[in-house]
Amino acid sequence: MLKQKSNNQTSAASKPLIPDLEESLAHIRSTMGDSSDLVIRPMVIHKTSAAVLFMDGLVDMNAVQDFILDALMHEMSSKRVSSHQLYLTIKESSLPIGEMEEIETYKELFDKLLSGETIVLIEKQKKALSASTKGWRDRGVQETTSESVIRGPKEAFTETLRTNTALLRRKIKDPALRVEPKKIGRKTHTDVAVVYLEGTAETEVIEDVMRRLDQIDIDGVLEGGYIEEFMQDAQYSPFPTVYNSEKPDAIAGGILEGRIAIITDGTPNVLLVPALFVNFMQSSEDYYQRSDISTFIRILRLFCFFVALFMPSLYIAFTTFHQEMLPAPLLISLAAQREGVPFPALVEALMMELTFEVLREAGIRLPKPVGSAVSIVGALVLGQSAVQAGLVSPAMVIVVALTAISSFVFPAYNMAISVRILRFPMMMLAASFGLYGIILGMIAMVLHLCSLKSFNKPYMSPFAPFIPKDQKDVLVRFPHWGLLSRPSSLTKKDQKRVDSTSKER
């Protein structure tokens, strides 16, 4: 019954426009449920009935008044002309609007109307005119809040798709930059733009992206995360295979390397594919600092990756199974600290890790003025109180604190979450088998990483498969004059980036 009703609504919405103006307006009112924000302005032009329709709050009222209503009012005359001639006159010379389209069905009419465009209906015409008058309020371009940088652009994407495409156009002033629109969502009809550099991005990857977007069949898309879950290769992997960022320079840099950006209207986070493991360890700021500084920071991030993933596990393994591997003074100190602790090392570590995760989430969700204070005070008070109560050892507090600090070093938040999730099974393996369990977990993780792909690109490239010429911009970043080619692991087209003579002084 519901399916039949839905099919009837769909067929009704896609039927052609009714030439009778009054009947057409009645159908529009009925479909919209006499919505209070639907504005219908009837008028008579050259003794022919017409109507202007728009949604209050979605249009720029100044544009509607100055460029549509005033222009049509000037066409009023005692002279009678045919409705077809009036339609052509309005279409070709009356409305000073840059973007105008003809629509023939009610589906097109509702799509345009609910997107902030103004509709002009004329009596006895099977077509209508749609004029672009979008003008809703947005946040404007502001400083990024989730990807702070010391040097480089501070601007961030907004929730408006056209603003986001303009930010990318400002970065890449090349006519080869393509912006292909799509609509996803049966109810929301969310605007999505696929942005890539023609001649640089691989055709197979572009077609794969378009195919995956076309296969998405869902009632609504409210954020890019909806699209990310439908498009990602490994649905149940803890590691992200789609990169996202709210910084235009980071997305522009990916497009220049041959990647494809997916912009979703209503979200400031833009998706970027293909995404490799090394991309989540790099920041756009790496290219604004000197190459030696960037190289040091990248190596530091990789070190923090291992610290955040394995440090609690190593502590559990050493204190539980492999005490002989610790220096005698350190072993005696740890034994003295744990003398009054009633729990084994695994329970002690789980208690502290879960407590810190709760504090982290509380700090994010609480209002900004009190969020940071609650996180810092909560960590200090709980940590000190737990040590004094004899529930945990001071060494465990230090281990958990170092682990947490290391997880904040990653530029990509979704990679930090993956490490936080994997930390717990590693701790279980360490408590069960010691260092053998950690090595077993590491082998399983490496095998899983090497089996992953992102849009048919090996996730661990240029490490596996090993590509020597791509090592210039992985752990070590060569100076810009040394980055002669684009990453061949991403694209085989338009490889040359820098003229080899540009480094000559």
Q: What is the pLDDT of residues 85-101, one digit of tens each?
A: 888 888 888 888 878 88
Cβ atoms of 72 and 52 within 8 Å: the answer is yes
Rg of the chain over all Cα atoms, to the nearest angstrom: 30
Cβ atoms of 224 and 262 within 8 Å: the answer is yes
Return the pLDDT at 194: 95
pLDDT beyond 80 at 79: no
Q: What backbone phi and psi angles, to 5 degrees, belong to 178? A: -105, 135
Q: What is the pLDDT of residues 442-463, one digit of tens each?
A: 999 999 999 999 999 999 999 9
Type and span of the H or E element at 307: helix 291-320
Return the pLDDT at 500: 57
**Residue spans per domain, the chain:** 2-132, 161-275, 299-458
Q: What is the pLDDT of residues 215-266, one digit of tens each?
A: 999 998 999 999 999 999 888 899 999 999 999 999 999 999 999 999 999 8
DSSP 50-94: EEEEEETTTB-HHHIIIIIIHHHHTT--SS---HHHHHHHIIIII
Identify which has the larger pLDDT, 279 or 374: 279
pLDDT beyond 70 at 376: no
What pTM was estimated for this model as a whole? 0.85
For residue 384, the SS3 value is helix
Which residues of 107-158 form beta strands (DSSP E)? 117-122, 128-132
pLDDT beyond 70 at 499: no
Q: What is the pLDDT of residues 395-437, one digit of tens each?
A: 888 888 899 889 888 888 889 899 999 999 999 999 999 999 9
User: Mind spelling out the 3-state secondary structure of 339-371?
Assistant: CCCCCCHHHHHHHHHHHHHHHHHHHHHCCHHHH
